[in-house]
Chain A
Amino acid sequence: MRSAPLNYLITFVLAGLLWVLTALILGGYLGNTVALTVAYVEDFVQTYRILVSVAAVLGLLLAFWWYYYGSRPTTVGELDRAGRFWTTLFIVGLALAVGVLVALLILFREESFTVGQYALFFGVFSLHTWLFFWISTLLMSPRTVQTIPWGR
């Protein structure tokens, strides 16, 4: 599970499943439940799905970047640096989640969402970015860097 290409494939499948869950199923649910004053529900759902897709692709790229970095033959000689690199990618993931949420709020700035909906949006974007990166690297990092992700 930690060696290429298996870790890449499993991560891709996992990202796809999450996307189906959050973009299609949860997106459909939001279309039925969200109350908008200005925008059309269809536009909101479409924008939401695009942003979820962007978050998913970027989260996937973060994980892939880590896999590539961790499998380089020279990485074993610079594990301290690898630790800093993982932390940087994790923070980038967190910033992506916040950034995508901000983008959604700006695009629908005339709408007012409930606290629960704000939390749900942030949770979904987090699931695709920093949470996805953390879980997938915790489980599928190349052997050389398997001890680096937090929680080992």
Chain B
Amino acid sequence: MNYYIGIGGTGARVAESLLHLCAAGYGPNRLKLFIIDPDEGNGNLSRTKELIARYQTARRHLQDQAAPGFPLFATEISTPDPLVWSIFEHGNTRLADYINYANLKSADRPLHDLAGLLFTQAELREQLDEGFRGHPSIGAVVMAEPDEDADPWRSFWTDVEKAQKPGDVRVFLAGSIFGGTGAAGVPTFGAPEMIKFHPRAKIDDATSKVQLGACLVLPYFTFDTAGATGPEAQRLFVTAADFPIATKAALQFYNEKDLAYDQLYLVGDSLAQSVGDFSPGSAKQENRPHYVELAAALAAEDFLLQPEGENPSGRYYIAGRRGKEVGWQSLPLTHDAEQVTARRDLLKRRLVAMATFAYAFLEFGYPLLDTPPGDVDYAWHEDHFYPKKGVFRRDESRDPRQPEQKAVLTAVKEYSERFLAWAAALDEGADGPVALLNRSRLLNGGDTVDHEQELAAIGTFLRESSKELDFNHFKNLLDQPTTLSDRLSPAGKYAGLFYEAARRFAEENYAVTPTPGRAGATADR
């Protein structure tokens, strides 16, 4: 059993990267996921929730009948309902309300005075439905008592109780060290009694059913605070300038505290790239994806993909840039030095195949469904989706344009749009520090690059040398014999055929071929 718990906006954004990795076929077999965030209207969180829904719809139809080992949407991702633990039962909660500050004065004066000492009046009065505004001390108080009788915690603890052996449930948390929610949540849930040695998890005083990992995301971005004007500017919030001090204090805390994490990953970057305008919370807080979130998601994969019985405890791993550029060679993939090459090859192969698939499907596959089947001249289309039935008739039951089939492909299309936008957003242009994919070869503004105008775009989107094969080559690959099962639904076969062609294209054009190694036994299914 694998759990990912994203804490705060950064946790939700790491979840987004994790989902994309799983969609590309670089993930565990099964993953349960939920998010902790009091700011349910947060734009980053909304984006992640929408993405999970699209992933699940697409996967339900593609993987159910697919051959074992088919990488597209391979990970079975399930979520509790609700997906988000928003901490507070009611909206507009203030810390003062939560701790009954007003009543404390008469009921327990010393405790009232202690609260007054620990929290400023501004902190006590701040409404918390848009997060903790960079003040983890507030979050730590309210996160320490999750309701175990309500989802998502109810499902989580039920799963933990069902587990038998030590380390059966792998739980990975991710959040920022420098903000509010994440900085409050990661140390809070790292306290031994919170998860690892919770009475429902521990086997004895030294053994637990839970293998606990976490990724602390150190400061890696900045944002423009010019947008914070008027009353908003007067309120409590964190700025990028506060990050280093908050981080230093937090790291010192982690160093001194006896937290129960078996493995802790620390990921950060000193480039301080801007990810957009400032927003203290709410729907407006939607930041551009960043490669550090990908690195954090890779940390989650490293933790979750460790072979059973090989779960070291009391370890921490640090990842940061060595040089100015972040390329495929420098992505942190695993703590196991022997596995780095195999994992890197696998990740690159899967992400490049997925990007090829997403681009080709959006540019060609999905729009083709607007053409009546009898007017489509492609041989692969006729063979699989408009086959002859007798001499003069056609088997229309294989047509992916049927409403229920088209709905699945629409989910795949919508997911592909999000994947491509995410992959392209990691790139900052030729002079940027991230040299993974070339955004300008995939997207033109918000649209995909026209494959008829730019035939070679599909073969030149990697920021590395390639054979520069063009879109016609991709179309020819669709005509190659396929190993896809005939039991697949028309929509499943349609998407599967495009994925197979994309994988072959990536292997031929970008020379991303399998490397023998243990990664093949875990993730290379």
Give A residues with C-beta under 8 Å from B.
73-74, 76-77, 79-80, 82-83, 143-148, 152
| Among B455, B472, B473, B479, contact of A143 (Cβ-Cβ < 8 Å) | B479
Which chain B residues have a beta carbon within 8 Å of chain A's beta carbons?
A: 377-379, 382, 452, 455, 471-473, 475-476, 479
Interface SS, A side:
helix
Contact status B472-A77, CB under 8 Å: yes
Which chain B residues lie closer than 8 Å to A80 at the CB level? 377
Q: How far is the CA of A148 from the CA of B475 in the complex (A)?
A: 16
Q: Is the CB of A79 within 8 A of B378?
A: yes
- Contact indicator B379/A146 (Cβ below 8 Å): yes
Which chain A residues lie closer than 8 Å to B476 at the CB level? Answer: 73, 76, 144
| B455 and A148 contacting across the interface, CB-CB below 8 Å | no
Complex-state Cα separation, A76 to B378, whole angstroms: 8
Contacts of A145 in B (CB 8 A): 377, 379
Q: Which residues of A contact B471 (CB under 8 A)?
A: 77
A144 touches B379 (CB 8 A): yes
Of the candidates A73, A74, A148, the one whose C-beta lies within 8 Å of that of B377 is: A148
Residue of A nearest to B469 (CB): A73
Once A and B bind, how many residue pairs between them come within 8 Å at the CB atom? 34
Q: Are A147 and B475 in contact (CB under 8 A)?
A: no
Point out the residues of chain A lying under 8 angstroms from B382, CB to CB. Answer: 146-147, 152
Residue pair A83, B472 in contact (C-beta under 8 Å): no
Query: Mind listing 13 A-B residue pairs with CB under 8 Å?
Result: A76-B475, A76-B479, A77-B455, A77-B472, A79-B377, A79-B378, A80-B377, A143-B379, A144-B379, A145-B377, A145-B379, A148-B377, A152-B382
Closest CB in chain B relative to A20 CB, distance in Å: 30
CB–CB A73/B479 < 8 A: no
A77 to B450, CA, bound (A): 13
A134 and B476 alpha carbons, distance in the complex (Å): 24
**B229 vs chain A, min Cβ distance (A):** 52
**Residue in B378, B472, B479 whose CB lies within 8 Å of A74:** B472
Residue of A nearest to B451 (CB): A77
- Closest chain-B Cβ to A148's Cβ sits at a distance in Å of 6
Q: Which residues of chain B have C-beta atoms less than 8 A from A147's C-beta?
A: 377-379, 382
Alpha-carbon distance A79/B364, docked complex (angstroms): 14
Report the Cα distance A37→B379, complex, angstroms.
Answer: 55
Which 10 pairs across A and B sit closest by C-beta, in order of nearness?
A77-B472, A76-B475, A79-B377, A146-B379, A147-B377, A143-B379, A143-B479, A76-B472, A74-B472, A147-B382
When the two chains form the complex, which single residue of B377, B452, B473 contacts A83, counting CB atoms closer than 8 Å?
B377
